[in-house]
Structure 1
Amino acid sequence: MRELRFLVERNNQAYILAGEEALLLSVANGYQPILRFVIFDPPAVLIGYHQAVEQEVNIEEVKKRDWEIGRRPTGGGTIIMGPWQLGWEIYASNDLLGYTPESAIKIGSEGVIRALDKLGIKASFRPKNDVEVNGR
């Protein structure tokens, strides 16, 4: 069994996204896997690596709400994160999470689902990449 690092962080999007990049590099260089929980404070609109901000985000609305905009170092669609929700990230090698993004997401969510079950919360995996509780 490999040792697992565990982090909980609450910060702005620049800090959290810089951490993503650093943690990706650390695992790619052979360091232990990491489970990281993050809370974005202040709220942020996060776009994927290959997206164009102007095509994905209503910039004026984001400014009115005093939210930040950040670009994730990975692909994927636009999401909104804020202090009202907890994000989770798993950094691990392919041999632990499978060799496709789909298998990594499903395998990674199994631990979250089991942990929620121990807390008495019924959760399930909903493709493409969600852990669902009470239809949400």
Structure 2
Amino acid sequence: MNTTSYLLLRLAIGASMFGHGLVRIPKLQSFSTWLAGTFEKSILPRELVTPFSYALPFAEFLVGFLLLIGLYTEKSLIAGGIVMLLLIFGTTLIENWEALPSQLIHIVLFALLLQFLSSNGWSLDTYLSLK
């Protein structure tokens, strides 16, 4: 993969994660209430869902921001993949099959970017020699 293709994919997944977090943080309470409500009839206890619902927007925002600027790219991709795995697990528990394709696409992009990390030439990692 060439550096320009890598940059475009990194920016795309970074923008998606950043945007998800950015719009949820200002309405954190209502987002948490909504998410907890969607899991009321699942096997997950509210004591797990509620803290996750408060942490998720910040995780999305941070992963997205770091990917946009290309800082700690490998760790950010792994963290993003973990977030997606958790979301996929939750999505299947509530049988929200419509959300699953988007989450699977995200995790494929995280894995693809990890596979071709050596193509991450346009990044702060490269500039600061953090690779």
Which TM-score bucket, shorter chain as reference?
under 0.3
Question: Counting helix residues as a fraction of each chain, which structure ranks higher?
Answer: 2
TM-score by length of 2: 0.25
More RCO (CA 8 Å, sep 6+): 2
